[in-house]
Structure 1
Amino acid sequence: MKLAFTTLGCPEWNLDTIISKAVEFDYDGVDFRGYLGEMEIYKLPEFSSDIETTKRKFNEADLEIPCFSSSIRLFTTSNKELESFKEELRQYGRLCQEFNTPFIRVFGGGIGEISRAEAIDFVKNNHERKLLTS
């Protein structure tokens, strides 16, 4: 079994510390859910303009990024929010390609007063017709 930890547990660690601790404690990978206070890590140089350095550091340490944990919620009734989730999905999809990462973690989202059946319909519609279209 391969083991990874999430950066939620080490919000103040820089990339070199994350990598060295992962190696020291025999982890196989790191699940990024934020980095140094920024939850949308694709906005950071380590995952955009300086991504090649980040990839090299992970490769040299023989570590994987098995999952990028997003802020995407499948249940929302807001088209504006859904559009922002769609952009986030694009960005994490790009990171998945760069790091050969197979998974993006998403949230279901709180449904409030709506019935569970209606919420499921919203999620299905959001997923099939909105999030997965260009």
Structure 2
Amino acid sequence: MTRSVPIVDVVSRREFLGAAFATAATAATSHAFAAPPPMKLSFMTFVCPEWPIEKIVALARRAGYDGVEIRVDAGHRHGISSATSAESRRAVRKAFRDEGVEVAAVATSVQFASPKAEDHKKHLEAAKANLDLASDLGAAVVRIFAGGGIPKLTPAAAEQVAAAFDEVGDYAKATGVCPVLECGHDIIKGADEAAEVIRRVRTKNFGALWNDSKMDDATFAALKDRIRHFHVHDEVLDPQNANLVDTARRMKSIGYRGYVSLEIIWGKNVPEQVLSETAARLRRQIDQGFRAS
């Protein structure tokens, strides 16, 4: 016996299915055209030096980070370096891709201000090798210091550092990987020293990394045309610290779409709960800064 179905039931089902498909389509469209995050979050592997790379990438996803900054040549268990084989590089890149996490940067110990010619040559070679590594892993930037074991930046040192960035910047230009000078550290103490190097650099494939959650007017003026990456440190673990709100506001004015990377050096793993809470708080601060007029 065939049961008759009331017309109202048929209509109701049609309306329900239509609404469901419309909702799904709207969600898919919204997702497909969603604006990228204004500033992305990563952490450097100093926050988890005792973990293998697979665990690090899974942690980043769970804790709410968009990427991981891989610190090389620091004895971290992940073992990734410029000596990593091509096969292992492909495996690392796949591990990141499978988790939906990016390699935000490769952080090196390379220093370009060494007064010893032989040391300087080694650092140039190391920079190029790590730029190749970054390209293979899909990282956009490679962190490099001025350093060199000298007490302060001199005009000669600034010229040498700039020339080195010209060389390695042009070397990596075709890959799209950008070497970045860490500013707010060692002999590049602030805006004045950063400007001394930046004004001498000729290659377009060069950027600056600001090593602090705070940025004053002078620093912003010196770096705004070159800023490609940020490090923030222990101060942002304090729930009362809101430095990133003002920094995000400044970055909005120049259309910044790069990373803010958490660098905590305790010599041991930072608890996952701390990393998760910090990520959520920093995202709120970034959103607040980008909403400001």
Same fold (TM over 0.5): yes
Task: Name the residue aligned to 1:42.
Answer: 82
SS of 2:82's partner is helix
| Superposed displacement of residue 103, structure 1 | 0.7
Distance 2:94 2:106 in 1: 18
Give the secondary-structure state (helix, strand or coil) at the position aligned to 1:65: strand
Q: Does 1:105 align with 2:143?
A: yes
Deviation at 1:131, TM superposition (A): 5.0
Q: Which has the higher contact order (CA 8 A, sep 6+)?
A: 1
Secondary structure at the counterpart of residue 57 of structure 1: helix
| Counterpart Cα distance in 2 of 1:77 and 1:123 | 11
Deviations 1:29-67 (A, max 9, x none): 0001133285x712235xx43211111111011111121
Aligned residues: 129
1:17/1:74 Cα in 2 relative to 1: closer, same or farther (>3 Å)?
Answer: same
Q: Return the TM-score normalized by structure 2.
A: 0.40
- TM-score, structure 1 length as denominator? 0.81
Contact 1:29 1:65 in 2 (8 A): yes
For the pair shown, which has the larger CA radius of gyration, 1 or 2? 2
Indicate if the aligned counterparts of 2:112 and 2:124 stay in contact, CA closer than 8 A. no
What is the percentage of aligned positions where both structures have the same residue? 22
Q: Deviations over 1:4-30 (max 9, x none)?
A: 000112111101110111011010000
Which deviates further from its counterpart, 84-93 or 59-68? 84-93
- Aligned residues of 1:68 and 1:104 also touching (Cα < 8 A): yes
Q: Helix, strand or coil for the counterpart of 2:58?
A: helix
- List alignment gaps of at least 5 residues for structure 2: 1-38, 172-293
Per-residue displacement from partner, 1:76-120 (whole Å, max 9, x unpaired)? 1112212221221221121222223221101111422x6632322
Aligned partner of 1:18 among 49, 52, 56: 56
Q: How does 1:1-134 map to 2 (within 5 A)?
A: 1-34=39-72, 35-36=76-77, 41-45=81-85, 48-109=86-147, 110-112=149-151, 116-128=154-166
Unaligned runs of 5+ in 1: none
User: Aligned to 1:12, what secondary structure does the other structure show?
Assistant: coil
